[in-house]
């Protein structure tokens, strides 16, 4: 008997695993590597929506929880995954500068937007109007995080590397059984794979395809993350991660010619030097139309739960949402109505 079965070990599954360990709960994790959005994600955490100069929902709280979470994970795994790097928003006009200053005057945005225009010059980037610096930003190396955490789970016999068969779940009075494994609760953290889950596939998880590059550009010397229509993130050794595209129709995780052309065009709008594409990756982000996560308990099975819909901001959201769901399950703490799956109860009968 274990306290929890977790299905999925991307950012959401890892965050919930770590929450259980912190609270001394027993668990096993099922992973079949069928979903790759956490692995190919940009990994940025940024409290500001730069397209509209508006605050990310609950940004302050999420950043505080995430900082503690990733610090603890780094100490546990003895590997750095959290990198504090400024984000510079390139300005294209005086009007954009003015919009930035207007946003920085807002009480909720003031802690995150520097009021000093950055005039720093970078090789191969033309920025006559300078940059605005976003504060409290950085990125999580999601590949290192997933690889190291999976090794930790495997070493401690928490990880089962196999597909999960929903038909093998049997419900008991106060627990459930999956094959020869008994558990008090099961949490599904499957990302876009939720569409194959017969218990939760009624929920409106859209999925947004994103494509990213790893490029090599020896003449580009940035040591910050540049954000315009795409982000350019320095990885060292003349390598940069660049992304991302947004495609709401294509639900495959295969790179496309269209995505490649779009990214190449956007890169050329930002940098003036040559570059070489080293990798071209694609994945499906677990997005929801109302831009809020999907958390909660199944309406008919009170020991079956979901942690999903973290969208494009998984590295910021996952630690906070894992804690929210844990407290909801263990302490019956009500979930915020904007993230509780009960907001979609009408979909169950359709």
Amino acid 53: pLDDT:
87
pLDDT of 350 over the 70 cut: no
Q: What does the domain layout of the chain look like in residue ranges?
A: 2-41+143-203+289-349, 86-136+208-285
pLDDT digits (tens, 9 = 90+) for 171-209: 988 899 999 999 999 999 999 999 999 999 999 999 999
pLDDT band at 305 (very low <50, low <70, confident <90, very high): very high
Q: Tell me, letter by letter, the H, E, C secondary structure of the chain.
A: CEEEEEECCCHHHHHHHHHHHHCCCCEEEEECCCCCHHHHCCCEECCEECCCCEECCCHHHHHHHHHHHHHHHHHHHCCCCEECCCEEEECCCHHHHHHHHHHHCCCCCCCCECCCCECCCCCCECCCCCEEEECCCEEECHHHHHHHHHHHHHHCCCEEECCCCHHHEEECCCCEEECCEEEEEEEECCHHHHHHCCCCCCCCECCEEEEEEEEECCCCCCCCEEECCCEEEEEECCEEEEECCCECCCCCCCCCHHHHHHHHHHHHHHECCCCEEEEEEEEEECCECCCCCEEEECCCCCCEEEEECCHHHHHHHHHHHHHHHHHHHHHCCCCCCCCEHHHHHHHHHC
Q: What fold is seen in the domain 86-136+208-285?
A: D-Amino Acid Oxidase; Chain A, domain 2 (3.30.9)
pLDDT the model gives residue 349: 58
Tens of pLDDT, residues 134-165: 999 999 999 999 999 999 999 999 999 999 99
| Whether the model pTM is above 0.85 | yes
Percent of the chain with pLDDT over 90: 92
Domain 2-41+143-203+289-349 matching CATH 3.50.50.60: the answer reads yes
């Amino acid at each position: 008997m274990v306290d929890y079965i977790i299905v999925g070990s991307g950012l959401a599954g890892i965050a919930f695993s770590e929450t259980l360990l912190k609270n001394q709960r027993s668990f096993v994790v099922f992973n079949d590597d069928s979903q790759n959005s956490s692995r190919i994600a940009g990994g940025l955490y940024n409290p500001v929506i730069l397209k509209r100069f508006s605050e990310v929902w609950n940004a302050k709280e999420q950043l505080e929880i995430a900082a503690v979470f990733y610090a603890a994970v780094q100490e546990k795994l003895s590997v750095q995954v959290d990198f504090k790097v400024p984000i510079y928003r390139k300005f294209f006009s005086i009007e954009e500068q003015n919009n930035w200053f207007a946003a920085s005057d807002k009480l909720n945005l003031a802690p995150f937007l520097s009021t000093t225009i950055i005039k720093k010059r970078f090789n191969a980037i033309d920025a006559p109007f300078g940059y605005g610096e976003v504060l409290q930003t950085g990125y999580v190396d999601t590949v290192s995080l997933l690889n190291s955490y999976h090794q930790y789970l495997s070493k401690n016999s928490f990880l089962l590397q196999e597909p999960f068969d929903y038909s093998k779940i049997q419900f008991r009075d106060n627990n459930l059984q999956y094959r020869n494994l008994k558990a008090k609760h099961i949490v599904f953290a499957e990302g876009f794979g939720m569409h194959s889950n017969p218990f939760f596939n009624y929920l409106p998880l859209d999925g947004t395809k994103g494509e990213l590059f790893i490029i090599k550009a020896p003449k580009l010397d940035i040591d910050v993350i540049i954000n315009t229509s795409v982000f350019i993130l320095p990885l060292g050794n003349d390598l940069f991660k660049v992304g991302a595209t947004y495609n709401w129709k294509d639900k495959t995780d295969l790179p496309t010619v269209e995505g490649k052309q779009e990214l190449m065009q956007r890169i050329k709008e930002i940098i003036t030097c040559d570059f070489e594409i080293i990798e071209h990756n694609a994945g499906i982000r677990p997005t929801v139309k109302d831009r809020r996560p999907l958390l909660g308990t199944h309406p008919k099975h009170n020991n079956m739960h979901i942690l999903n819909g973290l969208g494009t901001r998984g590295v910021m959201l996952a630690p906070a949402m894992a804690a929210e769901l844990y407290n909801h399950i263990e302490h019956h703490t009500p979930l915020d109505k904007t993230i509780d799956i009960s907001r979609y109860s009408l979909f169950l009968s359709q």
